[in-house]
Structure formats: C-alpha cells, structure tokens
Structure 1
C-alpha cells in the first residue's frame, strides 16, 4: 500500500533538493548541507527547520547550523536524535511538552486523514544554550507523512527564537488549528501539571486584538470599528478575563506566541 504524501512534503524535499539533510556520512559524523537561499531566510527569522522521523525519533533534515546561535555543535544538539534535543528543554517545561504530545495523539485518533495533514501544532518553552542560559522557543509543527495505519511517519518542525519575552516569562501555551478543524488553545498550569482550555476569541474580538497589538488606543479602535469607546473597553476586559491575563501587554505576548492573528487560521 502506498504511503500518503502531502504536497507540503514534496515541496520540502524539492526545496532542499535532498541537501538540507542532517545525516551520518561515512565517517559517522553529522553534518548539514544547506540550500543557501533557504538558510539565509531561516537565519533572518532565527528559525531552525527540522524534519523528524517519528518512528525512529531522529532528524532527517536540519536546515540551519545552530552553533553560532546556541553554542551547540550539530552533533551535540541532534546527534542522538530527538532525545538529545529534548534533554535541553528546561526541566519545568517538560510537562507542557509531554502533555502536548498526549493531546496530539488524542486528536489524531479522532481526525480524518485530510484533517491530519491540515493540522498545525504549536507550543512554547525554554531551551538551554551551551553556556547554561535559556532562550524562549516557539515550536510549530505539521505532519508531512502518514503510515498506512494513520500514524505519523514524519513531521516538519520549526524552532523559532522568541526574543520579545523576558527571561522570567513563565506562561506556556499549546495550540492546535487547521482547515475544517475546530481550533483549541490551552495554557499549561505548572503547579498542578495540567492544562486549562481557553475559549478562542470571536471574530469581533480578533478585530479588536489586531488593533491592540498594533498599539491603538480604545478611542481610535472605536473609530475604526464604528463602535463606542465603552464597547471597546468592555471587549478588552472580557478578553483579559477569557485568557486569564492581567493587562494588554500579557495579551500581546499571548498573541505573538500562539499566532492567533496568523492569516492561515
């Protein structure tokens, strides 16, 4: 039986032209051969593209050498496959990482093949650099290949640095969304090692959020939307309550991390 393959998978392979491959050469050393254009794009946005073989828990492709950014040689951060990479996740963030995986498999059991290929997966956590300091990472993923039984064969994973967050920022989110799939947003609660699901914003709230993220004041937003300033302020308070936040700054962080305003949503 043929293995279903997405157009995204074909695009990835054609773009890399089998060159952005993290593999073992005859000398058993891991190395990266990169398409220069793609590498420059990923470097500009501080993003590491990876294709993961889920069955073997190893990386098939890595598009950027991270030694200059994070201090790790490619063999150190990816040499033992997924295991060596997950060892660098902050201990307090292993819970959100594990719960994301459990949620993913729960959702996949209830998805059609088409929905699986359209699913977007996102979470944020801290990753340790070679000097012992930590950086904020937003990890997003899409399924590239499924096995005949519907289980995941390969994933495209993007690790993107988030330099807008302070070192002390502690909120962790998980988000799933896709075409014809009811999106889900969760916040990780480290004290109880569990998740709370967050109600997604309405279309009107998305409009208001877009203006808030742009730094617009309530009066200006009201003029844009032809509503009263009081209505805008009411929406703002409701949004903070809905997302369990204290102020607009925290709302902006949530939007940037979870990509609620992404046009592909």
Structure 2
C-alpha cells in the first residue's frame, strides 16, 4: 500500500475506533442470517449489480464479503480487504469518503440506542475495478451488531450506479426510517433536517422507479390501482421538478432521496 493510502486508512481507523472499545468474535452462520434479515427489512434498493460486505469496526476488517464482488469489480472476495479498498478509491474521491466517514461516526455517537436501527447511511464514490476502469458505487449501510456502548459491525451494499451517475461529486445522506428525520446531500458540519418532498407512499413509488420496476409491477406490489400509481408518478415528477423518469432517477441519486 502506498504511504498516502496507508495514511488515509489509518485516519479512517482512528474515526472508527472512537465508537468501539472491544472485539467480539462473529458467529458466521448467525451473521449471515442477520444479513438476510436486514436486507429484507430495510429499504435498501438495487439500481444495478451489487455485492455486500460486513465490516468489523474494531478490527477495521471485513468479516464477510459476498461472492458477487467478483462479478461487479473483478476481485475475489479474499482480495477485497479494507486496506485494499482504500487504495482503489478514486484519488479525487478519497477526501469525500474520509469526510463522510467522520460525519457518520459523529452522527451515530449522538443517537439513542433505540434509534440506531432507524437510520441508513448512503453515499457514492468511484472505485477502480480489476480491469482498470472506474465504477461509481452507491454505498448503503446499516448497523447490524451494536449495544448501548459499542458499534461492532456494519452491513453495507455496494451498487454499481455508473450508468445512472457517470459524473458529479460524491453525495452523502443519512436517511431516517420509521418516521425519523432525514438529512439529504449533507455538505455542512452541522446536520440540518431535510424537509421531505414526498409522502411515504410516494417514497415507496420512487424507490420502485429507481429500481426500474414497471407501473404494473409497482401497482401490484403496493396493492393500488394503475390510475393511482400514475397519479403518484405524476406528483413525484412535479415535486422533483423533472420531466422524465431518467431525469428523476439521476436527481434522486444526486440528492440522496432514497
């Protein structure tokens, strides 16, 4: 690892170590069950090919990397270690990632134990694939192992959104679930609660649109009529100030709305 990348990694580790003071040994079978539980429970969407990983905050290592990483990036799971990941982030995006991780740690320090499960972290950055090309990944993360004093493990999904957001600076959001306030496109040191443009139902429809689902699929899933679904789509486009679904998807990812 280059000296610059090593320093980058050590700085991130200092942030992470402020929320955990002991190591726990994972039960991999139980951990896998937790992963599946959280993947189903939380509103994490797939707008492209993805893989997932479980990050051990105390050791600053991955306890688990899904085999899909090879299909998405070209690396074997055993190659894909945290230090290596840090080295293949686009040089221009590394300051953003470090800043985002610092803000995430500071934010979760302020949360009560009961609210930890109600927040999803989301940001994007570029990462170098094995063939040398850069891919923009959407990093979505939730806490899966924690107690009242420590955060032990985080589950994250890494989704290829290059086809949706080929350009632009990284965007960072903290998304509240179950009625908690969200903080979209965070750029300041102080978090400002975001006004939700969309109703809960509109947000469900928006998530489906980003995933590429048809109106009929969404109507069936949400148990509403096609007419009602079209009304929601029209209202969403109007609130987002966009004219086409493609514009809507790009703006949604750019603003971190889902």
TM-score band by shorter chain is 0.5 to 0.7
In the other structure, the counterpart of 1:38 is: none
The question of 1:60 aligning with 2:56 is answered no
Shift of 1:180: 4.2
Give me the whole-angstrom Cα distance separating, in 1, the residues matched to 2:146 and 2:95: 26
Contact 1:115 1:179 in 2 (8 A): no
In the other structure, the counterpart of 1:106 is: 106
Bigger Cα Rg: 1
Give me the whole-angstrom Cα distance separating, in 2, the residues matched to 1:98 and 1:140: 16
In the other structure, the counterpart of 2:196 is: 200
- Quote the RMSD (CA, aligned, Å): 4.5
Consecutive unaligned residues of structure 2, counting only runs of 5 or more, are 1-21, 37-45, 216-226
Contact 1:185 1:199 in 2 (8 A): no
Consecutive unaligned residues of structure 1, counting only runs of 5 or more, are 18-42
Structure 1's 250 and 62: CA in aligned 2 closer, same or farther, altered over 3 A?
Answer: same
The alignment's TM-score, normalised by the length of structure 2, stands at 0.61
Runs of 4+ in 1 over 6 A off after TM superposition: 193-197, 245-248
The question of 1:252 aligning with 2:249 is answered yes
- Name which structure has the greater RCO, CA cutoff 8 Å, separation 6+: 2
In the other structure, the counterpart of 2:90 is: 90
Shift of 1:145: 1.4
Give me the whole-angstrom Cα distance separating, in 2, the residues matched to 1:223 and 1:156: 32
Shift of 1:257: 6.4
In the other structure, the counterpart of 2:13 is: none
Shift of 1:215: 10
The alignment's TM-score, normalised by the length of structure 1, stands at 0.60
Give me the whole-angstrom Cα distance separating, in 1, the residues matched to 2:191 and 2:126: 18
Normalized per residue, the structure richer in helix is 2
Shift of 1:46: 2.2
- The number of equivalent residue pairs is 209
Give me the whole-angstrom Cα distance separating, in 2, the residues matched to 1:136 and 1:106: 25
1:95-117 deviation line (CA, Å, top 9, x unaligned):
33222222222222221112112
In the other structure, the counterpart of 2:53 is: 50
In the other structure, the counterpart of 1:14 is: 33
Q: Superposition pairs for residues 1-265 of structure 1, below 5 Å?
A: 12-14=31-33, 46-64=49-67, 66-78=69-81, 82-149=82-149, 151-165=150-164, 167-170=166-169, 172-187=171-186, 199-203=195-199, 206=202, 210=206, 225=231, 236=238, 239-240=240-241, 249-256=246-253, 260=257
